[in-house]
Amino acid sequence: MALASEGLQQFRDRHQTFIGSLYRRAGAAEWAVGTDVFAEALYRSARHRFSDAELEYSPVESYLDALHVEDLALALGCQAGHEGAWRAFVSRYRPRLYAAARSIAGDQDAQDLAGSIYGELYGLKERAGQRRSLFRYYHGRSSLPTWLSAVLAQRHVDGLRAAARLEPLDEARHEIHARRDSDASDPESGLVRRRYVAILTRVVRAALAELDPRERLRLAHYYLDGLTLAQAAALFGEHESTASRKLERTRQGLRARIEQTLRDEYRFDDGAVRECLTVGIEGWTMDLSRELSQETAGSDVQ
Amino acid sequence: MSKDPSIEHDLERAIKAGLRERSRTASCPPMDVVAAYCEHSLASEELSQWEAHFAGCRRCQQLLAAMARVEPSVAPAAAPSWWSRALDWRWLVPAAAAASAFAIWIAVRPGTRPAESPTVIVASRPETQAAPTAAAQPEPSSALRMLEKAQEQFAKKTEPNPAESAQAMRDAIDRLAKKEAPTVAAEAAGAVAGKPAASPPAPAVAPAPRTLASRVDAAAADAAMGRQAGLVVIAPGAQVQWRAGPGGQIEQSRDAGATWDAQNAGTSEDLLAGSAPSDSVCWIVGRGGTILRSTDGRAWSRLESPVSADLVSVAATDAANATIAAVDGQRFMTRDGGGTWEKREH
């Protein structure tokens, strides 16, 4: 704690004038947020981005200048229970919070999802007798509505993942036992199946590993998340036609690479390619279901 | 590559299986990083670092997908800005009732516009003057006191059912919202009922005489080169937007309209139309042949115009190619970013 206090004091001394200008820009006084509290919030935000050592030589003021300080001040005011801040928050952001919850969770679950967040923003949970607001995790790096959407999305996704863990586990167990029985009665088929799974997983993993992370992410959103081109394009800050072109190029390139490797490296003809894919995918999919069931859900808001 | 449909289909399934595999990556980022990523405001080294994590983490992929499904936000009931103040100040018509005010601006300049085709800009302000009776609505402080009481009860667990306290809190928030922002509460009610959220009131430019100006606008919309809604110009992706209006004022938003930053356009002419083919390229036109262009999203330069008439439409595909239309129906195209203009026939 002493080190943190020292770091905060050095931060304040070094950037005193700039902090003052941000304070005025933020309109923090309107929500009765003092300069000390505001400066500490800026320090915590900077420490999330930079280490204490980095704070000395990094372009901290550029980072601070890009923060959404008005939203940060409002969040600090709400955290402190300021009536005017809450009034402003409710009028500005409550409809958006509920609209975002509907987009994320659907009409039926939106009310509960948004309501649970709302309660935690206000501070229904307590620790050591002190109300703890979810706003303490907001550091101004994005606009407040986007951060709220992220919190909603995290709650929703973690809830779905926790629920999904139970289903594939039972199915996977059943499939594993069925496969063991089949392999025991026909060892040669089992050997072929295991060989095709090994080949296919190796080839596909190698092909995916060659992709740029963004292209892999693009494929995941297309194949697994069902995003529209417009949604994926917005996520990457691209024009929809650009996103479409890149996706198609990546998909075609990947398919060609996988097929070519099976033909060149393993000398598979059409029939063998078809068999490897069919048999290999069946076995691989079952293994993935078992792995998915062993994944843990994510942590709380950080 | 094989043209066998069954092989194609199985290759797709193999890719899908490969993507589902879990990678051994670092811990997931905090939500402020995820939110900053979605707003495209991460520093480049952070972007690379976290995108590498996202590429191998199904949880983060699902989270980003959920974020991508959030509709462009309902506009908050923000305090009146220069936007509405400017219109009110210049063109205020006395209102018969105290409930709302309408600003009507009929702009007809002798010698530059046919008298039979005025451009009308109409703006309205949301209801902010209504004063609910004391008997009908609780005081805001009592609504917040109810919040505090609900919180205390929740914390002390004196309520037999904590959900009731949470509901009491939600009811208090409802009353607070309705007291302070009736239009916002109506939007929220409509939103919960599944109706589309209302767009913020924005000045609308009436179409010019039916020549090619309206066809240019329609072509721009069809080609998705950048949408224009009244005097708000929205880049593809909807995150970056500009709004422009009287006196050469321009503002930019990089968060889908949540916040706005003033930009220096270097003109005092009224601005009437715009087109943004990307987040960094925006064309805006206005009175007296005004043509402005930004190629970095921030700085503006005024381009030489082929006409001195008011320009009421622009459709651009990039920084070099654009078509403008004047109020008298004349239409011009440039392929070199405004260096030269070619008159187009109807």
- For residue A174, the model assigns a pLDDT of 55
Q: Is the CB of residue B198 less than 8 Å away from at least one CB of chain A?
A: no
Q: Which of A224-233, B216-225, B228-237 has the highest mean pLDDT?
A: A224-233
Distance CA B243, CA B230 (A): 9
Determine which helix (DSSP H) or strand (DSSP E) holds A147, and give its type and residue range. helix A144-164
User: What is the extent of the structural domain holding B144?
Assistant: 140-192
- For residue B50, the model assigns a pLDDT of 92
Domain for residue B117, yes or no?
Answer: no
Contact A139, B32 (CB under 8 A): yes
For residue B36, what is the nearest residue in chain A, using CA coordinates?
A142
Q: Are residues B150 and B184 in the same domain?
A: yes
The answer to whether residue B269 scores a pLDDT higher than 50 is yes
Residue B262 CA, distance from chain mean position: 15
Q: Are residues B173 and B234 in the same domain?
A: no
CATH architecture of A165-294: Orthogonal Bundle (1.10)
Q: Are residues B211 and B313 in the same domain?
A: yes
- For residue B194, the model assigns a pLDDT of 43
Residues of B in contact with A222 (CB under 8 A): none
Domain for residue B114, yes or no?
Answer: no
Q: Are residues B215 and B308 in the same domain?
A: yes
The answer to whether residue B290 scores a pLDDT higher than 70 is yes
- For residue A267, the model assigns a pLDDT of 93
Q: Are residues B218 and B334 in the same domain?
A: yes
For residue A290, what is the nearest residue in chain B, using CA coordinates?
B21
Closest CA to A60 of B140, B345, B43: B43
- B34 to chain A, minimum CA–CA distance in Å? 7
Distance CA B34, CA B41 (A): 10
The answer to whether residue A15 scores a pLDDT higher than 80 is yes
With a CB-CB cutoff of 8 Å, which residues 79-108 of chain A face chain B?
83, 86-87, 90-96, 98-100, 102-104, 107
Distance CA B183, CA B230 (A): 21
Domain for residue B118, yes or no?
Answer: no
Q: Are residues B187 and B231 in the same domain?
A: no
- Tell me what the mean pLDDT of segment B205-224 comes to: 41
Residues of A in contact with B198 (CB under 8 A): none
Q: At what angle do helices B5-20 and A270-294 cross, to 10 degrees?
A: 30
Domain for residue B152, yes or no?
Answer: yes
Q: Is the CB of residue B223 less than 8 Å away from at least one CB of chain A?
A: no
Closest CA to B25 of B67, B63, B59: B59
Among candidate residues B30, B45, B68, the one where a domain is terminated: B68
Domain for residue B200, yes or no?
Answer: no
Domain for residue B151, yes or no?
Answer: yes
With a CB-CB cutoff of 8 Å, which residues 128-157 of chain A face chain B?
131, 137-147, 149-154, 156-157
- For residue B80, the model assigns a pLDDT of 39
Name the residue with higher pLDDT: A204 or A163: A204
For residue B12, what is the nearest residue in chain A, using CA coordinates?
A255
Mean pLDDT of chain A: 84
Q: Is the CB of residue B259 less than 8 Å away from at least one CB of chain A?
A: yes
Q: Is B260 helix (H, G, I), strand (E, B) or coil?
A: coil
Q: Is the CB of residue B191 less than 8 Å away from at least one CB of chain A?
A: yes
Q: Are residues B37 and B151 in the same domain?
A: no
Q: Which of A55-64, A268-277, B19-28, B144-153 has the highest mean pLDDT?
A: A268-277
- Tell me what the mean pLDDT of segment B233-241 comes to: 84
Per the document, the length of chain A is 302
Number of structural domains chain B divides into:
3
Give the list of residues 6+ apart from residue A33 with CB closer than 8 angstroms, or none: A26, A73, A76, A77, A80, A82
Q: Mutating which of A86, A90, A127 best tests the B interface, going by the most B Cβ atoms within 10 A?
A: A90
The domain that holds B307 is classified in CATH as: 2.130.10.10
With a CB-CB cutoff of 8 Å, which residues 133-172 of chain B face chain A?
140-141, 144, 147, 151, 154-155, 166, 169-170
- Every domain of chain A and the residues it spans: 2-161, 165-294
Domain for residue B121, yes or no?
Answer: no
pLDDT in tens, B90-116: 444 444 444 444 444 444 444 444 444
